[in-house]
Every structure is written in structure tokens, then in C-alpha cells.
Amino acid sequence: MTAQSTQTAPTEATAPQHGAEVIVPLNQLKASPKNARKTPHSPATIEAFAASIKAKGVLQPPVVEVERDGEGVPTGNYLVTIGEGRRQGLRLLAKRKAIKRTHPVRCIVDAENDAHEISLDENMTREAMHPADQFEAFQRLAEERGYGAEEIGARFGVSAHVVRQRLRLGAAAPELMAAYRAGALALDQLMAFCVSEDQNRQRQVFEQLGEYRPVHAIRRAMTEAKVAVGDRRVRFVGVEAYEAAGGGILRDLFTEDGGGWLEDVVLLDRLVGEKLTGLADEARGREGWKWAEAALEYPDLSAFGRVYPVAVERSEADAAEIAALSEEYDGIVSEAGDDGLSPEADARLEEIDKALQAFGPDFAYAPEARARAGVMVMLGHDGLARFERGLVRAEDVPADPPSPWSEEEAADDGADGGAQAGADAPHEGGAALSDRLLIDLTAHRTMGLRDAVQADVNAALATVVHALVLQVFYPGYGVWTPLQLRLTTTGLERLAPGWTTCPAGRRVRDRCEAWGARLPERPQDLWGVVAALAPSDQLDLMACCAGVGLYAVRDPHDRRPGALAQAETLATAVGLDMTGTWSATAASYFTRVAKPKVLEAVTEAAGAQEAGRIAGFKKADMAEAAERLVEGKGWLPAPLRTVSDAAEPEEPGAEAPSDDDAYSFAAE
């Protein structure tokens, strides 16, 4: 072959022959209209061509044909039949001023074959190298040539992140790579194994899982001794603090969010404990509590007594000033027009805010309460610290007053005390009554008390409220009532983390705190307060306590079909609508159920067409798409739906639901 310059347009006589090698200026190379590839190369592909050419030159010369005008005369330009991607890569380098527009390009002339056919042949009769070969080739460049991810990426036109992925895959255990080449392992499975570079662990998990190797199971097994960056402990401490303390992180190179796992769990837990303890000590010093503790897990707070904040006593002058400032604030806000407040009004509102804040909160813990109570700082489900204030340890609970049945009190009270003590007071001779007689007499007294309470509706209401309040607001004092009414309050934090931050949870907590501020600190003073309340307030307080005592969790280990059925009846009676306190999101529902359940929810909320559109998505993508599709539609899963009042009643004599029927929701 002979090289020929094309600085001047060739004539028919000087046109290069078939198979000739020619040097053509870049600006004289043109795309061929006969190219079989009509879909243009992607920007990423052109970028890769440019990077390769810049690092190594054009390794394979393009195949060209002489361009001719309408009369068949050579124009001096050449049409690229094979190598259009290389031409585009050269043009990109010229655009970036890396080479000149007239950069010489070595080409091969084809003057005999049909240009369209050889273009088609070039694109069909070739097979891309197996990805495993590519992964190992990148690994070899890194090991033998010492290239880093950035340099390899620059030489092949891919990002350094992609190179790191391929290097990690290239370092997989040989057994895994062989299985991948043989088709026994898919790429997403190989990536799941390669979240960790530990080849021994890769082999171990590969053997343990056998032929059934779902991606999520592989990833979980490879990281079971580590903590995901999305864990609440990590959100609380912060990745930066963990790394600063010397902790190592296993980065996930194969997810879009670039997450990973913290490898030193002991260090993480120590950092969490230290931060919680610091917050507890700070709260104790700032607020004046007797004690402060930190807890990683949510403790059983029913073991503690409680004190509540009380209304702050203010002087008449302070109360009048607060009222005046509040009235002025409301007046400024109410006068705001469509354009909002003026700068002067905004400035005045800020001044009023500062003045009101200077008075402090309307409710606060009394100094004597803080002197015997404490604060516990816990790590919430959302990675934020939660403060439980006003907790009283058993040893700090005020001693119970002397029993009215004791001989000592009877002696101290004299005649009056004997009247109050009732049948257990010593008789005139000084000898105590026999146990049998005492039981007989007090049984008659109990019947008399029943009769009297039944005849006094107000006393009956106060008795019930008193008994409930003792058990809800004064744990440990439930035996202080003669009413045989037992209320169990079960915490839900362990069952459903985050319930306190949902709308319903906040409302329940606010009601309890509001009543706690109105109730006396000592349980022995409770009756006087409850009896003095208006009947409407007694009913509100009873509703508050009754609500706290409800428990309708469908737990397979707590088989109470009758109670659960009654919970459904109660939900219908009160018109329970969970759409105002719970919504279906990827985190709350869709990532926690199988794909058919996700599609079922989308079908019900948005229609079968939308469900069909996401049916082929991967689980994580499907969950996120489902969240968007059901948003604002008020969709609820079956366990959260309230049975309609219009539901047809059961046939008379129908069998009661079995335990299995009662727990059908749980099975779903």
C-alpha cells in the first residue's frame, strides 16, 4: 500500500485505489450517508473514543470512500464508512483545542465493496468482550502499571467511580468470577458479593447460600457484622465524627447514593453512648435535675414515677404585660394584607417575640420536683435524641402516708381517728377484733358503699376517674383505690418506632402533659382534685386515661380475637380515619412487603394502568414509584382500614371468628 497526501483534490486519475492507506486532514473526513448505524453514538461513547485517542492515538484506521459530486468527480473529501465513532472522538478533541482541525488521520480506502454492506458487517459480525475480561483487565492495569482510578478513567473516557467499580469486581474471588463467566451468577449478584473485598467471606457466603442467591440476601450476609450508614446510630453520631475517631467504612460502590457500612460497631456504640451521656449531663446542669441518664434503647418508663410541669405563677403586672403583647401581636398579624406585612410590622413582631420569650414558658417543673426527679436521654428511631423529663425513681417517691388501719394512727387521732379508721379500730376493751369478724363487718360496709355509689352518679364517675388516673399518671399507686378496675398501659415505642412523632402520637402526648400539669404531685391529694372537677372535665380526664389504656396490636403471640373484634367495633363507633395520621411511603410500607402487595396498593389507589407501568421495576425503584403514585390518595393497607357502618351484619347464629380469621390481617 502506498500513502498519498490529499492536500489538493484528487482527480479521477490520481484518486487512491482500493486498499490504499491515505493521510486525510480531519476536516476533510465526513459522515457517510450509507452508514448502517442510524442511531447516533451516545455522548459517553464519544467521550470514551476521545479519551482513548488522546492517550494512545487512533489504533485502528477508519475505512473511507472517496466522496464524489453529482458528475462523479472526486471532491477532495472522504466519507467514513467504518469508524464514525473515532471521527466523532477526533472532532471532540479538536473542539477542545487538543488537536488541530486539520489533524492528519491515517485511513484505509475501500473502493470495491458496498459501503452500506461493510458498515452493517462491521456492526454485526463482532462480539463485545465479556465484562469479566474487562474487570480483570482494569485490575491488571492498576496492579502492573500502577495506574490509579483517575488515570485509568482518563485513558478510557469513563469516570473514576466507574473504574473503582470495575476494579472492585475484578478483585472478586476466582470462584465467583468463574461462576459469572459461566452464567451461574448475574452481574447484580456479583456486585452484591463485592460490596466487601474480603474474598474468604465471598466464598463462604457463596457456598452457604447455594443455588438460591437473591441479591438482598447476599448483601445482607456480606455486611451482617456491620452497620449501614442509614442506621439511626450513624445519623445521630455522624459519619465524620466516626471517621475522625478512626472508624473504617466499607463504601458501597454499586448504589446511586454511594452508601456503605461502618465496620467498627463497638466504636460506633461508644460514640453514641458518649454523645447521649453528654446531652444528659448538659440537661441536668442546665435544668437542675437530681439525676440524668442516657439510654440507647427505649426503656420501660412505667417503672418510674412522674412529675409534670406546673403553671408558672406570675405577678399581675407581668400577666397584664404578656396579655397586652399577645393582643398586639395578634392585631398586627390580623391586619396583614395580600402583600404580607410591612418591614416595620415584621420588625415589631420580632420585638414582641423576644419580649414574650424573656418571660419564660407558661409551664415549668417546680424546683422541688426537679430536686428529686431526673431526665433520661434516649436515641429515637429517627436518629435524634429524645428527652424524657420528670422521671422519678422508686427510692425518690415520697413515703406513703401511714395506713388508716394502723393502731398507731388510731391512737394519734383519738376519737376522730377511730371514726375514720372504721371497723379496724381497737374496741373499748383494747383487744383487736378477730380476723373473721373484721372480714364480716367490712363485707357489710363494702355492700353499703356499693349501694351509696350506685345512687350517686357524680361519686361513681369520680371513683372511676380516680382509679384510672392513679394507674396512668401515678404508676405504682393503682392499689390506692377500692375500685377493682385495672388498667394496663403498654408502651408502643418498641413495637412501632416513631409513634410519638406521628400526628396521633403527638396529640395523645399533648393531652397527657396538659392533664399532668393540672393534677397534684402527691397521689393522696388526687381525690380532692378529681372530686372538685366539673363533670365535663372528669369525662375528658377519663377519656384521656381510657385512650392510653387501649391495646389493639395484632400480635401472633397475644391471641385475643374477642378483644381485637371489639377494637374494630370501637374504631367504627368513633369513626377512626387513619389517613390523617399515617401515609404509605417506601419506608413505612412498600419496602416491607412483596412486589405483588405493592402493585395491589397502586392498583387500588391509582389504577391498573399505573400499576402495570411499574410492574417491571426493581424492588427499590418500585417502592419509590409507588410512594409517589399513592401520595395524597388516602390509600391504607387492610389493617388500618375502619370497617364501614354499612357493612352487612353477620347471619344470626353464624360461627364466631376463629383465631386464624381474627389474625388474617397479620398474615397479610
Model confidence at 101, pLDDT cuts 50, 70, 90, reads: very high
Residue 238 falls in which region: left (phi positive, over 0), alpha (psi -120 to 50) or beta: left
Instruction: Please list, in sequence order, all residues whose beta carbon lies within 8 angstroms of the beta carbon of residue 361, skipping any fewer than 6 positions away.
Output: 309, 312
Model confidence at 444, pLDDT cuts 50, 70, 90, reads: confident
Please choose, from the candidates 664, 607, 663, 612, the residue with its C-alpha nearest in 3D space to the C-alpha of residue 635: 607
Query: What is the spatial distance between Cα 364 and Cα 585, in angstroms, rounded to a whole number?
Result: 37
pLDDT of residue 656: 42
Query: What is the spatial distance between Cα 217 and Cα 199, in angstroms, rounded to a whole number?
Result: 17
Which range, of 221-235, 412-426, 527-541, averages the lowest pLDDT?
412-426
pLDDT > 90? residue 166: no
Establish how many alpha carbons lie within 13 A of residue 485's alpha carbon, considering only the half-sphere containing its beta carbon: 18
Which range, of 382-391, 407-416, 614-623, averages the lowest pLDDT?
407-416
Tens-digit pLDDT profile for residues 546-584: 888 888 887 777 667 777 787 888 888 888 888 888 889
Q: Which run of H or of E encompasses 152?
A: helix 149-156
Q: Which residue has the cell 420588625?
A: 347
pLDDT of residue 432: 76
Model confidence at 102, pLDDT cuts 50, 70, 90, reads: very high
Q: Quote the Cα angle for 255-258-259, to 5°.
A: 95
pLDDT > 50? residue 259: yes
pLDDT > 80? residue 440: no
Helix residue ranges, H only, 373-524: 407-421, 435-454, 457-473, 503-518
Query: Mean pLDDT over residues 58-66, rounded?
Result: 91
Highest mean pLDDT among 40-49, 92-101, 301-310, 587-596 belongs to: 92-101
pLDDT of residue 96: 93
pLDDT of residue 65: 92
Query: Mean pLDDT over residues 309-330, rounded?
Result: 88
Characterize 457-470 residue by residue with b for buried, 16 or more Cβ atoms within 10 angstroms of its Cβ, and e for exposed: eeeebbbbbbbbbb
Query: What is the spatial distance between Cα 360 and Cα 663, in angstroms, rounded to a whole number?
Result: 51
Instruction: Please list, in sequence order, all residues whose beta carbon lies within 8 angstroms of the beta carbon of residue 355, skipping any fewer than 6 positions away.
Output: 325
Cell of 414: 383519738
Model confidence at 651, pLDDT cuts 50, 70, 90, reads: very low
Model confidence at 399, pLDDT cuts 50, 70, 90, reads: low
pLDDT of residue 417: 41
Highest mean pLDDT among 77-81, 124-128, 168-172, 209-213 belongs to: 77-81
Q: Which run of H or of E encompasses 346?
A: helix 343-358
Burial of 494 (0-12, 13-18, 19+ CB in 10 A): exposed
| Chain CA centroid to CA 317, Å | 48
pLDDT > 50? residue 662: no
Beta-strand pair 3-5/21-25: parallel
Query: What is the spatial distance between Cα 258 and Cα 355, in angstroms, rounded to a whole number?
Result: 47
Query: Mean pLDDT over residues 417-441, rounded?
Result: 58
Characterize 361-392 residue by residue with b for buried, 16 or more Cβ atoms within 10 angstroms of its Cβ, and e for exposed: eeeebeeebbebbbbbbbbbeeeeebebbbbb
Please choose, from the candidates 328, 333, 334, the residue with its C-alpha nearest in 3D space to the C-alpha of residue 346: 333
Query: What is the spatial distance between Cα 383 and Cα 377, in angstroms, rounded to a whole number?
Result: 12
Tens-digit pLDDT profile for residues 401-426: 554 444 444 444 444 444 344 444 44
Question: What phi and psi values does residue 392 have, to the nearest 5 degrees?
Answer: -120, 125
DSSP states along 578-615: GGGT----TTTTGGGS-HHHHHHHHHHHH-HHHHHHTT
pLDDT of residue 11: 65
pLDDT of residue 335: 81
Residues 49 and 88: beta-carbon distance below 8 Å:
yes
pLDDT of residue 431: 59
pLDDT of residue 364: 86
Please choose, from the candidates 96, 92, 35, the residue with its C-alpha nearest in 3D space to the C-alpha of residue 63: 35
Query: What is the spatial distance between Cα 364 and Cα 479, in angstroms, rounded to a whole number?
Result: 29
Beta-strand pair 29-31/74-82: parallel
Residues 192 and 219: beta-carbon distance below 8 Å:
yes
Query: What is the spatial distance between Cα 505 and Cα 570, in angstroms, rounded to a whole number?
Result: 19
CA-atom Rg of the chain in angstroms: 40
Question: What phi and psi values does residue 441 have, to the nearest 5 degrees?
Answer: -65, -45
Which range, of 300-314, 539-553, 581-595, averages the lowest pLDDT?
300-314
Query: What is the spatial distance between Cα 371 and Cα 366, in angstroms, rounded to a whole number?
Result: 9
Residues 298 and 500: beta-carbon distance below 8 Å:
no
Which range, of 8-17, 130-139, 209-218, 452-461, averages the lowest pLDDT?
8-17
Model confidence at 375, pLDDT cuts 50, 70, 90, reads: very high
Q: Coil, strand or helix: which one is 275?
A: helix
Please choose, from the candidates 127, 160, 129, 116, the residue with its C-alpha nearest in 3D space to the C-alpha of residue 142: 160
Residue 383 falls in which region: left (phi positive, over 0), alpha (psi -120 to 50) or beta: left
Cell of 530: 378529681
Please choose, from the candidates 470, 473, 468, the residue with its C-alpha nearest in 3D space to the C-alpha of residue 543: 468
Query: What is the spatial distance between Cα 545 and Cα 540, in angstroms, rounded to a whole number?
Result: 9
Q: Coil, strand or helix: which one is 146?
A: coil
pLDDT > 50? residue 596: yes
pLDDT of residue 649: 41
Cell of 163: 473504574
pLDDT > 90? residue 396: no
Q: How many CB atoms lie within 10 A of CB 245?
A: 14
Q: Quote the Cα angle for 5-9-13, to 5°.
A: 85
Query: Mean pLDDT over residues 309-326, rounded?
Result: 88
Query: Mean pLDDT over residues 107-126, rounded?
Result: 85
Tens-digit pLDDT profile for residues 180-201: 888 888 888 898 888 888 888 8
List 31's β-bridge partners, or say none.
Answer: 80
pLDDT of residue 286: 93
Cell of 181: 463467566
Characterize 93-115 residue by residue with b for buried, 16 or more Cβ atoms within 10 angstroms of its Cβ, and e for exposed: bbeeeebeeebebebbbbeeeeb
Q: Quote the Cα angle for 270-276-279, to 5°.
A: 140
Please choose, from the candidates 424, 365, 425, the residue with its C-alpha nearest in 3D space to the C-alpha of residue 392: 365
Residues 21 and 2: beta-carbon distance below 8 Å:
yes
Model confidence at 3, pLDDT cuts 50, 70, 90, reads: very low
Query: What is the spatial distance between Cα 121 and Cα 205, in angstroms, rounded to a whole number?
Result: 44
- Between 108 and 155, the higher pLDDT residue: 108
Query: What is the spatial distance between Cα 461 and Cα 533, in angstroms, rounded to a whole number?
Result: 11
Residues 12 and 52: beta-carbon distance below 8 Å:
no
Tens-digit pLDDT profile for residues 464-520: 988 888 888 887 666 778 888 888 777 776 677 666 677 888 888 888 888 988 888
What average pLDDT does the chain have? 81
End-to-end CA distance of the chain: 76
Which range, of 124-138, 326-340, 395-409, 439-453, averages the lowest pLDDT?
395-409
pLDDT of residue 288: 94
Which range, of 80-84, 109-113, 384-388, 556-560, averages the lowest pLDDT?
556-560
Please choose, from the candidates 231, 164, 230, 221, the residue with its C-alpha nearest in 3D space to the C-alpha of residue 198: 221
